[in-house]
Chains A and B, each alone.
Chain A
Amino acid sequence: MNPPTSTDPGCVAACVKWVDLSPETDPTSGLPVPSAHSWGFSEADRSAVEVALRLADDRGTDAVVVCVGPPDAQWALGELAAAGAARAVLVTSGNPGDTRGGASSGETARILADILGPVGLDADTVVCGDISLDRGSGSVPALLAHHLELPQALGLISVDLGDRPRIGGATRDATTTLMGVRRLDGARRERVGIPARAVMSVEGAVAPLRRAPLGRAVEARRRVQRESSPRRPEPVRPARILQWRPPPRSLPAPEGTDAFERVVSLTGALEERTPPRVVELAPPQAAAEILRQLHRWGYLTDAGAAGAEATAAKATGSEPTDPVTAEPRP
């Protein structure tokens, strides 16, 4: 593949993924129902395009939209780019039978890095959607940052795009041109400074995508540049998977003077123990009996057992009984 020539040094790129937005399963068979009409770009990806457009506006540079996907994506990609991107690039696998783009996350990241790297579009900032709706690994932005050797700010829930109030009084410093906020575990958030050259991923609510003007929407299909993926997907080398074995533990030797005694001691065969009890009951009574037994063994507290008894009694229509004695309770 000849890499596309750069529009302007330092463009802002949005990377988007062609996914089934409302996957359907056949209610009678449980199998996925293929649908030509439910494929598109997620809200997160649309938001990524809007962020890219605003950043490009701010910086007086071009925005480009790139997708590694099947030829089916061309029209929708053109519509996305019609919102204001200078160009859209669709990288197809080149495999005629491939309808879905067919690249793994690792391969996608490498293809995107080829397109967006210094010998390609030479993108300064790359914005991706946070997580794809097709239960993707969410790893493409990170892998892309690795290939492009750029810092990453992933999972952003807001970005200070200049035309919005600053978030929590965060200010930009010399090394960061943008401020963003991202989610952490435990409902916490962190503010991150994002350098001018970076890979970001954003959630869907960060910036709703603007509507394309009619003229550009009409031209949308023609706007997309088609590229064939240069690489064949790398063969997957499965890691060697070993069976899990518990780590060895040293145990004291069984007591006993001869082999028979030691076997008896090891197996506990002749020890006195509660003999098994066989009960045959209707399901509600069986449930109540199980609760009683759990209580006897100490798995249920008195209060818990009493509550369970009451529920069981309601279900069977009988008097609540004492969980221990099984006598009717006063």
Chain B
Amino acid sequence: MTEHTAERPSSDNDDFDAIVVGAGPAGSAAALELARAGRSVLLIERGPFPGSKNMYGGVIYGRILDTLVPQWWTEAPIQRWVTRRQTMMMTGEQALTVDYRTEAWGRPPYNGATAYRPDFDSWLADKAVEEGATLVCSTTVTGLLTDSGRVVGVSTDRPDGDVRARVVIAADGVNSFLAKEAGLYGEVDPANYTVGVKETIALPRSVIDERFAVRGDHGVDIEIIGCTGDVPGGGFLYTNSDTIAVGLVLSLPALAAGGRRPEELLAELKLHPAIAPLVEGGEVKEYSAHVIPEAGYDMMPELVGDGIVVAGDAAAMCLAAGLWLEGVNFAIGSGAAAGRACHGALRKGDTSAVGLGDYRRRLESSFVLKDHRKLREAPHLVMGELAQQKLPAMACGVAEDMFTVTNPEPKAGLMRIVRRQMRTNGVKLRSVVGDTWRALRAFG
């Protein structure tokens, strides 16, 4: 590549100070920090525009943007602010829901918000461009350029497609081919991954407001457990302005072993008596699927190599811990940390693995690795049989027994009901105590 005329990078051999691969939340946050620090940065995206290739459930926790884009809520392309959050446990025909709502989440600085990724990712990438980053789309990075084992740039699928820089940030999402090529990942275990599938269903705004009991730009986030049959996983349902997103997250190996199709399981969820009235009459606008790095802390690669840093899903930073499915905020957090660490390394003139070591230190002292470390056990616990099947069945059973009136018989005591449900669902007291202890440690 010869035609670049932006700010001069600090070395004559390099076209840019930094190349960021992938204009998802992690890549754009990294490019934004670097450009803001005055670095020449090339942000490469394979899709025709940022976000065009990306899917997720739908809720972004935006507080991480407070420092990156002050007052972000006045301009970010938000669909609805989540002011109502439900956790639903279900069996074939029962559902027990814990429903929490607060008006506080509907005003600044807000909490969660639903947004479409093509809108949100384009907006964040534009912020990086406004700060001086160069964005090139419809360009796929096909490999790393190395010199004596050190990453010195990337090659792309365009004619004359090699481009050099002093540091490369791999923010190319789950399955990061670049992190693998750089030797930062060990053996890849499919059990560490889940697949997420989602339908976006159009409904008139007024119908959504009515069905979900919200007004204006307030919305609902429903997380569901016990809705995936014998495949470990979970479900979700989120409200946008005039669509709803309903989907599942499913264990990859269990899907393969059971021969079940994700769309079949999603169709079953949509037919469930607790969900069917919410989606009824809607028109499916979109079906999408994407892999999620589920195992969090336990599957993270080496975060830096000589001349390369890995951020976001590429580094398995997505937090998938049952009650939480947060990837975008962790991607932004890790991307911003990568950008700052690379700027520091460039200033010191050392972009070797040692010079880039500040990245890990930054993550360790931020929510990104703190939360991951704290919730390290959570993914295993949530995907276990107790949380997946026995707990929802038992909770629904207890609720049903408590609220079923069987006069002339008198009401059964709570302890008796619980014991009966434990017996019915094959739950041993010892395993409940053990798992409760593990849960307290995992979520404590």
Contacts and interface: CB of A to CB of B under 8 A. Distances in A.
A26 B202 contact: yes
Contacts of B1: 213-215, 218
Contact of A214 (B48, B139, B242, B283): B139
Interface string B149-165: 00000001111111100
Contacts of B160: 213-215
Contacts of A217: 136, 138-139, 158
B122 A214 contact: no
B204 interface: yes
A213 B4 contact: no
Nearest to B162: A214
A216 B160 CA distance: 10
B139 A27 contact: no
B204 A29 contact: yes
A212 interface: yes
Contacts of A213: 1, 158-161
Given A37-B52, A214-B139, A216-B3, A28 B242 contact: yes
A85 to B, nearest CB: 14
Nearest to A222: B5
Nearest to B282: A28
Contacts of B158: 211-214, 217
Query: Of B134, B162, B163, which is in contact with the most chain A CB atoms at under 10 Å from its CB?
Result: B134
A26 B137 CA distance: 28
B118 interface: yes
A214 B156 contact: yes
B284 to A, nearest CB: 9
B285 interface: yes
A226 B413 CA distance: 79
Given A27-B283, A28-B242, A219 B202 contact: no
Interface residues of A, number: 19
Query: Of A40, A79, A214, which is in contact with the most chain B CB atoms at under 10 Å from its CB?
Result: A214
B203 interface: yes
A37 B122 contact: yes
Interface in A215-240: 215-220, 222
Given A213-B158, A214-B160, A215-B160, A28 B202 contact: yes
A215 B203 contact: no
B20 to A, nearest CB: 13
Interface string B130-152: 00001011110000000000000
B66 to A, nearest CB: 25
Query: Of B3, B48, B139, B163, which is in contact with the most chain A CB atoms at under 10 Å from its CB?
Result: B3
Given A26-B202, A219-B5, A214 B159 contact: yes
B49 interface: yes
A215 B3 contact: yes
A140 B71 CA distance: 46
A26 to B, nearest CB: 7
Interface of A: 26-29, 36-37, 40, 79, 211-220, 222
Instruction: Give 10 closest A-B pairs by Cβ, nearest first.
Output: A215-B3, A27-B283, A213-B160, A214-B158, A215-B1, A213-B159, A214-B161, A28-B204, A27-B202, A214-B1
Given A212-B158, A213-B159, A218-B136, 20 more contacts: A28-B204, A28-B283, A36-B119, A36-B122, A37-B118, A37-B122, A40-B48, A79-B137, A211-B158, A213-B1, A213-B161, A214-B136, A214-B139, A215-B4, A215-B160, A216-B3, A218-B1, A218-B4, A218-B134, A219-B5
